Amino acid sequence: MSPHQPPGPAVEPGPAVGPGRGPERGLVVELGRDVRVYDDGRTLVGGAPPRLLRLQERAAQHLVGRQVHVVDDLSGKLADRLLACGAAGPVLSALPPADPSQLTVVVPVRDREQALDRLLAGLGGGLRVVVVDDHSRDPATIARVAARHGAELVALPHNRGPAGARNAGLAAVATPFVAFVDSDVVVAADSLVMLARHLHLPRVAAVTPRILGLPTTGRPNWISRYENARSSLDAGPDAALVHPHSRVGWVPGACLVARVDALGDGFTDSMRVAEDVDLVWRMVAQERQVRYEPAVTAWHDHRTRPAAWLNRKAFYGTGAHQLARRHGAAVAPAVLTPLAGATAAVLLAQRRWSVPAALTLVAVMCTRLTRVLPRDCDRARLTADLAGRGLAATASQTSALLLRHWWPLSLPGCLVSRRLRRAVLTAAILDGLLDYRRSVPSLDPARFVLARRLDDIAYGAGLWAGALRGGSPRPLLPSFPPHRGRAPARRGRRPGRDGNAPAMGGTGP
């Protein structure tokens, strides 16, 4: 499963609060870097997925310097809502330290004794570790490596795949927290304990670190340089709440710290790919929070040989059809409102009427936004912000459809359509250069753009192969959510006037 750009910001109510008690006093939460603040803190734009949030005036007073310090019930409710909708994340240093004795590490492995030795040496013996040998060809060697580092061993009589191996290790866990770490990852024990700080918050079910490429002693080739900047496992430098169709829509199971009681039956044994995405989305559907914490880093031994690298990208793509069966529209390659989809379509047509038609659609979008935004806010700035974000997301998603998800259609179409050829070429270059600017790789732009396009082609090939094998086009189809507008509070019903909780609400464009 590959991440894609989030849809444009919806203006909708904050999500329902999940199970558990509210935040304790002393907690500090900080707005995400992409969250914009208006009206002296009473209006926020951002979250996961993006939305417009309205705070009552008393609650907004607790937002100081983009942070909320929990000192009373009102600030606690504000922090709770901001965490639940992904507009803010906890300040890691302000969370209570985790107890290492409450955490067990589960390491699934098959025929990677050197990588396993490297991982266990890096952990340093400070945590209880369960190594699950997933039917290696030389089980005695795996057993010796585990014993040398004081790890417990669970040997499987037949190969069960990563999901089954992790579940076998989970069955041996007696602590309240578990860390799943793949054998081709390097991470320190202190880093896992630091991640476990997030589990002090009862609504947080799991947390993952930032995963970067493992430094090598030799000279890196162009693929490793690309992977170090644009790996599928790297969700970027900014913390986030994980949620489908948001900036961080999924996280890998290569290194994941979780609350055992939130895992249920664990991973789906029958899934050999995307089992980690499935687990995360199931927890999210249960209104549990999964957080991405880039302040903590793990290191992954990326594939750098062209054939192995492309095969892995295609393998990721094949999992989409299983996710579509289990999670429906959450796996959609794009989420477009009817107006946004129509705007993209008329621009792709590249006719004389395309620009006037697109401007008309944008005007309609802005008019709808203006009508539903609260009266006591800066409507002009909010409308420009929401419309601009929506159009940028539409352009990004349309580009991804042409280059990544639908390339088996768009590339042959370039042979017969000059307009489509122009659109695909423009998207390929602009998307690559914008991604180059964001990623800042140690690679020249030409090879970076080439690697980016090969990444798209390989993933898209796997996506189509999985869809054909599964007999359903669902993982290839965009989602067109209906308009979910709600009239703002009218005179006599100011948002949040009751003072019981930070009021959040609004409508969708």
- Residue 376 binned pLDDT confidence (cut-offs 50, 70, 90): confident
Burial class (CB in 10 A: 0-12, 13-18, 19+), 269: middle
442: closest CA among 218, 294, 216, 221?
221
Q: How far is CA 41 from CA 31, 64, 252, in A?
A: 11, 9, 34
Question: Is 499 contained in some domain?
Answer: no
For residue 2, give both structure tokens. 């590959």
**pLDDT tens, residue by residue, 85-94:** 999 999 999 9
d(CA 302, CA 216): 10
Contact by Cβ (8 Å): 368, 509:
yes
Contact by Cβ (8 Å): 225, 443:
yes
pLDDT at 492: 33
What is the rounded average pLDDT of the residues 315-344?
95
Residue 369 confidence (pLDDT) above 50: yes
Least confident range from 14-28, 69-83, 404-418: namely 14-28
What dihedral do alpha carbons 400, 402, 408, 409 form, nearest 10°? 150
**pLDDT tens, residue by residue, 146-191:** 999 999 999 999 999 999 999 999 999 999 999 999 999 999 999 9
Question: Is 28 contained in some domain?
Answer: no
What dihedral do alpha carbons 274, 292, 460, 315 form, nearest 10°? -40
Domain count, the chain: 1
pLDDT at 435: 96
**pLDDT tens, residue by residue, 420-459:** 999 999 999 999 999 999 999 999 999 999 999 999 999 9
Instruction: Give the domain range for residue 110.
Output: 100-305
Residue 206 confidence (pLDDT) above 50: yes
For residue 360, give both structure tokens. 């008309």
Residue 125 confidence (pLDDT) above 90: no
pLDDT at 18: 33
Residue 1 confidence (pLDDT) above 70: no
Q: Residue 89: phi, psi to the nearest 5?
A: -130, 160
Least confident range from 148-157, 372-381, 404-413, 450-459: namely 372-381
**Which position has the token pair 């990208």?**
313
Residue 482 confidence (pLDDT) above 70: no
Query: In the Cβ-directed half-sphere of 215, how many Cα atoms lie within 13 Å?
Result: 3
For residue 483, give both structure tokens. 């308009």
pLDDT at 22: 57
d(CA 434, CA 61): 38
**pLDDT tens, residue by residue, 468-477:** 999 999 999 9
3-state secondary structure of 260: helix
Q: Residue 56: phi, psi to the nearest 5?
A: -70, 160
**pLDDT tens, residue by residue, 282-305:** 999 999 999 999 999 999 999 999
Rg (CA), the chain: 24
Residue 21 confidence (pLDDT) above 60: no
Q: What percent of the chain has pLDDT over 70?
A: 90
Question: Is 177 contained in some domain?
Answer: yes
Question: Is 12 contained in some domain?
Answer: no
Higher pLDDT, residue 483 or 344: 344
- Residue 377 binned pLDDT confidence (cut-offs 50, 70, 90): confident
Which H helix or E strand runs over 96?
Answer: none
Question: Is 323 contained in some domain?
Answer: no
**pLDDT tens, residue by residue, 41-65:** 999 999 998 889 999 999 999 999 9
Residue 20 confidence (pLDDT) above 60: no
Neighbours of 505 (CB within 10 A): 19
**pLDDT tens, residue by residue, 455-470:** 999 999 999 999 999 9
- Residue 14 binned pLDDT confidence (cut-offs 50, 70, 90): very low
Question: Is 142 contained in some domain?
Answer: yes
pLDDT at 506: 30
pLDDT at 458: 98
- Residue 5 binned pLDDT confidence (cut-offs 50, 70, 90): very low
Question: Is 256 contained in some domain?
Answer: yes
Measure the N-to-C terminal CA separation of the chain; round to a whole number of Å. 28
For residue 84, give both structure tokens. 């639940």
CATH code of residue 106: 3.90.550.10
Question: Is 18 contained in some domain?
Answer: no
Q: How far is CA 320 from the centre of its chain?
A: 15
Residue by residue, DSSP assigns 271-330 as: -SSSHHHHHHHHHHHTT-EEEEEEEEEEEE----SHHHHHHHHHHHHHTHHHHHHHHGGG
Mean pLDDT for all residues in the chain:
90
